[in-house]
Structure 1
Amino acid sequence: MIKIFSWAAVIFWMAIIFYLSHEPASSSDELSIGISDVMVTIVEKVVPGTEVNMDEFHHIVRKCAHFLAYLILGLLLTHTLRRSGTGRWTIGIALIICVLYASSDELHQLFVPGRSAEVRDVLIDSVGACVGIILDLLIWKGKQRYKS
């Protein structure tokens, strides 16, 4: 039963990534600009007098979103594959799936109004997935040490 929930979480997260990628550029920009505005407001309250270049900050927020989305996917996928008994192939399979999904996601964006496909985004997504996979590996090894 836990395997089913694990796979459901992976599929749900992939669906969220797909949904966000399917948003036209104008909707996607509104979302990330809203997040950027909230973050800048917080920074200005914490460090008064801070000047922020909104275009650069907005760009960084968008790229961090790519990284974080695939970090979570890498974590979920590695955890699920381990539970599914992939053994020593878990990390490789997780990485391949994440990179293929990132690539297909960018290709999908070619068909969304105002969006484009960028190799740079696939690289950012892949690095995020690698970090997620490593985090899951560290958590799993920590649990193994704690058990013994």
Structure 2
Amino acid sequence: MLQLTVNGIVHQVDVEDDMPLLWVLRDEIGLNGPKYGCGVAACGACTVHVGGVAVRSCQTLVSDVDGPVMTIEGLGTPDEMHAVQAAWLEHQVAQCGYCQGGQMMQAADLLTQNPDPTDADIDEAMSGNLCRCGTYPRIRAAVKSAARSMRGA
């Protein structure tokens, strides 16, 4: 039996140590924000934060999780969206939406590390998150808006 704290809630899960975190989140805990995209950490649809750092949950073994896990469901609160979520709505980033949870989790990680990213910083940080719909210009604009909002500008 493993204990995981996900989005501030402690969960006891009875799974094999080598189960990917993605499947624990989706199949055992019942969260569907992190998506299965490629299974090899190449698309970013499964991005979550572990211990405050963005990771690909499809390639993170549950036994390797060291710290609290946050998924897109835990990024904001029911009363207040995270600045990244608000910027995504403002810029109408999502088309099909499949990748957007992972995109937002990666963007939130970037803004934690770099509160005033350049276009190049954004492109580099977001390069591992693929969008089939090609909303990259809107993603960049939303990241910039979220950065301004988080800085109080």
Short-chain TM bin? 0.3 to 0.5
Larger relative contact order, structure 1 or 2 (CA cutoff 8 Å, min sep 6): 1
State the TM-score, normalized to the length of structure 2: 0.33
Q: Which has the larger radius of gyration?
A: 1
Higher helix share: 1
State the TM-score, normalized to the length of structure 1: 0.34
